[in-house]
Structure 1
Amino acid sequence: MKDVLRTTGFYFDEVEIGARFETRSRTVTEADLVGFCNLMWMTESLFTDTEHARDGAAAHGRVVPGVMVYAMAEGLLTHTMEGTGLAFLHADFSVKGPTFVGDTIHVEVEIIEARLTSRPGRGLVRSRNRVLKADGSECIVYEPLRMLRQLNATQ
């Protein structure tokens, strides 16, 4: 078959320690910020009050909550687990720098751990995910541990 369209994410069997890939990019918009803050009831003035933002740490523009940037990064990664992801188990998470409305982000991923579970048909994968702005500066670094289906499982 020539150039088969892939409709699933990575299976555990396809993941190798040291493998790297990069997601496509996404620009954070004012509508994203407003929608997220409304959905989460995140009413902190830093995110919802433009007058407060002008006087404070957000001198470079409308600051975006780190947890929103993390959620957007996970959205950029969704296709890598489509139909193969079984569980999100843990993550170490650090905000490295501010993200503002208008910034464009992408995720650089490196697989740092892969091991089978005690139950057949699944494995655990940990990656180091670096959320970067278009200028190369880090916004967030996090290391999620996920459970993935095994393609060639002997049950």
Structure 2
Amino acid sequence: MEVVGLGLFYEDLPVGRKFRTVGRTITEADIVNFVNCTGMIEVLFTDLEFVKAQSDIKGRPAPGALVYSFAEGLVLQATAQHTGFAFLNMNLDVKGPTVAGDTIHVECEVIEARRSKNRPNRGLVRTRNVIVKQDGSPVMEYTPLRLMAARTTG
């Protein structure tokens, strides 16, 4: 029986390929749960009176780590089930705030793809991932390098 929802293989990810994920709204509950789970109990995330009086951000800010984590979830659900084998490195740049109620999606472009020298049944794929809010503004950009399964060994 066919299994649906499997990820993309190295051969499916040539340089220049572009795609985007579905959206995900960040809720107040997401922020509270993430902050408590990770121990990020900084006042910016836990004290709404402080945010109102001191912060330049309007609304309940989401930690950048939460936004990145949700983005990775969106990307991996769509591309790496059974085919993603390692996250090797990345550069990350925060471009703007995300608050409770914002809906994010990820726009991806393959910027590097090469066969692994040590593992011929694997490929290395780097993407430029831009996390975008509902108003079209980018909030984060990162460039992960992943080890992906290949269909062939050559």
TM-score above 0.5, yes or no: yes
**Hey, which bits of structure 1, 4+ residues long, moved more than 6 A?**
none
Where in structure 1 are there 5+ consecutive unaligned residues? none
Contact 2:57/2:97 (<8 A) preserved: no
Which residue matches 1:63?
61
| Structure-1 separation of matches of 2:18 and 2:126 | 12
Which residue matches 1:136?
136
Which residue matches 1:53?
51
Moved more, 6-15 or 18-27: 6-15
Over 3 Å counting, the alpha-carbon distance change for 1:59 and 1:77 in structure 2 is: closer
Which residue matches 1:122?
122
| Structure-2 separation of matches of 1:56 and 1:18 | 43
Secondary structure class of the residue paired with 1:61:
coil
State the percentage of identical aligned residues: 46
Cα deviation for residue 25 of structure 1 reads 0.4
| Structure-2 separation of matches of 1:42 and 1:152 | 44
| Structure-2 separation of matches of 1:126 and 1:41 | 31
| Structure-1 separation of matches of 2:11 and 2:53 | 52
Cα deviation for residue 144 of structure 1 reads 0.3
Cα deviation for residue 51 of structure 1 reads 1.1
> TM-score normalised to the size of structure 2?
0.94
1:102 matched to 2:101? The reply is yes
| Structure-2 separation of matches of 1:94 and 1:150 | 30
Cα deviation for residue 7 of structure 1 reads 3.0
Where in structure 2 are there 5+ consecutive unaligned residues? none
- What is the root-mean-square deviation of aligned Cα atoms in Å? 1.3
| Structure-1 separation of matches of 2:76 and 2:145 | 14
Which residue matches 2:11?
13
> TM-score normalised to the size of structure 1?
0.93
Cα deviation for residue 35 of structure 1 reads 0.3
Structure 2 letter corresponding to 1:47:
F
Cα deviation for residue 6 of structure 1 reads 3.3
Structure 1 letter corresponding to 2:24:
R
Secondary structure class of the residue paired with 1:131:
strand
Which residue matches 2:90?
91
Which residue matches 1:26?
24
Structure 2 letter corresponding to 1:97:
G
| Structure-1 separation of matches of 2:12 and 2:153 | 12
Cα deviation for residue 98 of structure 1 reads 0.5
Tell me how many residue pairs correspond in the alignment: 151
Structure 1 letter corresponding to 2:64:
G
Cα deviation for residue 58 of structure 1 reads 4.9
Cα deviation for residue 153 of structure 1 reads 2.4
Structure 2 letter corresponding to 1:117:
S
